[in-house]
Amino acid sequence: MSDKATLEYNGQKYEFPIIKGSEDELAVNIKTLRGVSGGLITIDPGYKNTGSCESAITFLDGEKGVLRYRGYSIEELAEKADFLEVAYLLIFGELPNKEQLEAFHVDIKNESHVDEEMKKILDAFPKSAHPMGVLSSLTSALIAFNPVSVNVTSNAEMYGAIVRILAKFPVLVAWTLRKKKGFPLDYGDDSLGYVENIHKMMFKKPSQEYKKNKQVIDALDQLLILHADHEQNCSTSTVRIVGSSHAGLFASLSAGISALWGPLHGGANQAVIEMLEAIEADGGDTKKYMAKAKDKNDPFRLMGFGHRVYKNFDPRAKIIKKAADKVLEDLGIDDPILEIAKGLEKEALEDQYFVDRKLYPNVDFYSGIIYRALGIPTEMFTVMFALGRLPGWIAQWREMRLNNEPIGRPRQIYTGANQRPFVNLDKR
Ligand code: SDX
């Protein structure tokens, strides 16, 4: 196999090196293209064929439905690891031993306070504010109270920023939910596990003792693992490009939260449940929504279906679908929405339009059903996605900084007016 690619244009031949990854993926390295060709660039809307970086964090094979974090399969991690372990693995590259995991958790717990002044910022939001907008703002506001976490240069400063945000972000998530419920904004309990503490902060009722439900915590832990990273998706690419200007970790994460909010990305889990509820209200008429999804004149898409990379089943959707059955059974919940989802999936997988376009359920299709069963309000579903993706965003930001990657600045092809003389106002 050749280690070079040749581009021929206008009678000139240009050679570019081929980069081969550890899973035999191949890329043409065109970083000299513009210089050697006198100005040629490439263009690729949505970056469907363009790699932004070399990364050692997550590998996915869309054709085979494979997803691995640092070489470990998502199936094994979802079954055998816990979320804090996976966060450590993604960020630092290896599964932690007992001491490393304990020390990591202690460092996080020592940073779990959030400046009381932050509550004034949260208070300024109307209860109707979407939690993703609140969280993006609060994450950015954290910078003002943690200036040391801005332009980190040493490994120690980087580690400090990382444990700080892993500690404080769950508090902001809990406070955002509690504000909507009119509950007091308080803290969790450092004696609990990382995910159990998140659940307690979110759901402890003011006048009742917190009651641990192992099935709920295990389901939440697994969901967070399944959302933890996904290579160069829209929000992660946003974190990387904002981070490439050295704007700092918290500012990069705040931008990533905004990107995830979109219904074509992380916002899809909320849109899926709203779609399924609409179908239920419509008497379960899935055929009508299938027709809408296929109608080119209708902007409606079957939410939770399709994926930029997976042209096979999203392995996370398979795991979540199984978990949805188990959680509902464990909690004794009979949710008609699950049956509607399964019916819709069956229809879509047999429909030529979806088969031809290789549209399968993605991570967002079933996750909302579990979040509902866990008592999480629909508007908080994408926040739960952000909570899960936090370690992945951190890992990708850290890799970009440690690799000293240049500031991201794509080029363009200009299609506007050619030069023309200014016309004074009285002449227009
Ligand atoms: C996430 O990138 C990641 O890794 C993201 C993510 C992660 O973990 O970070 O996996 C999380 O964002 C999952 C995706 C959640 N979004 C949704 O479920 C929203 C619904 N899905 C679509 O909007 C769409 O499938 C995307 C956005 C996910 C992918 O869009 P692409 O890759 O740009 O594909 P496309 O728009 O070019 O579609 C190709 C064809 C088109 O039809 P034709 O023009 O070829 O006739 O498929 C059609 C599309 O109209 N199509 C759909 C569809 N998705 C694609 N038609 C109906 N319903 C859909 N859901």
DSSP letters for 137-206: HHHHHHHHH-GGGSS--SHHHHHHHHHHHHHHHHHHHHHHHHHHHT-------TTS-HHHHHHHHHH--T
Confidence band (pLDDT; 50, 70, 90) for 285? confident
Active-site residue numbers? 307, 364
Provide the pLDDT for residue 219.
95
Own/partner long-range contacts of 405-408 (Cβ < 8 Å, ≥24 apart): 405/53, 405/240, 405/244, 406/244, 407/244, 407/245, 408/52, 408/240, 408/241, 408/244, 408/245
Residue with the two structure tokens 């990854």: 21
Best residue for ligand 1 mutational test, from 226, 238, 357 (most atoms within 8 Å of Cβ): 357
Best residue for ligand 1 mutational test, from 58, 302, 307 (most atoms within 8 Å of Cβ): 307
Q: What three-state secondary structure class fits 252?
A: helix
**Ligand 1 atom with the shortest distance to the CA of 266:** 12
Going from the Cα of 53 to the center of ligand 1, the distance in angstroms, rounded, reads 22
Contact indicator for 90, 70 with CB cutoff of 8 Å: yes
> Whole-model pTM?
0.96
- What's the rounded mean pLDDT across residues 262-274? 95
Whose Cα sits closest to atom 36 in ligand 1? 308
Going from the Cα of 236 to the center of ligand 1, the distance in angstroms, rounded, reads 17
Is the minimum distance from the CB of 302 to ligand 1 under 6 angstroms? yes
Provide the pLDDT for residue 150.
82
d(CA 160, CA 108): 9
Is the minimum distance from the CB of 315 to ligand 1 under 6 angstroms? no
Is the minimum distance from the CB of 355 to ligand 1 under 6 angstroms? no
Is the minimum distance from the CB of 196 to ligand 1 under 6 angstroms? no
**Ligand 1 atom with the shortest distance to the CA of 265:** 12
Going from the Cα of 113 to the center of ligand 1, the distance in angstroms, rounded, reads 39
Is the minimum distance from the CB of 311 to ligand 1 under 6 angstroms? no
Strand-pairing partners, residue 28, are 18
Going from the Cα of 379 to the center of ligand 1, the distance in angstroms, rounded, reads 21
Is the minimum distance from the CB of 292 to ligand 1 under 6 angstroms? no
DSSP string for 35-73:
HHHTS-----GGGTT------SSEEEETTTTEEEETTEE
Provide the pLDDT for residue 381.
97
49 pLDDT higher than 90 = yes
79 pLDDT higher than 90 = yes
- What's the rounded mean pLDDT across residues 168-182? 96
E strand or H helix at 18, and its extent?
strand 12-20
Taking only the tens place, the pLDDT of each residue in 94-153 is 999 999 999 999 999 999 999 999 999 999 999 999 999 999 999 999 999 998 888 788
Give me the sign of the Cα torsion angle 95, 99, 102, 103. Answer: negative
- What's the rounded mean pLDDT across residues 50-58? 98
Is the minimum distance from the CB of 293 to ligand 1 under 6 angstroms? yes
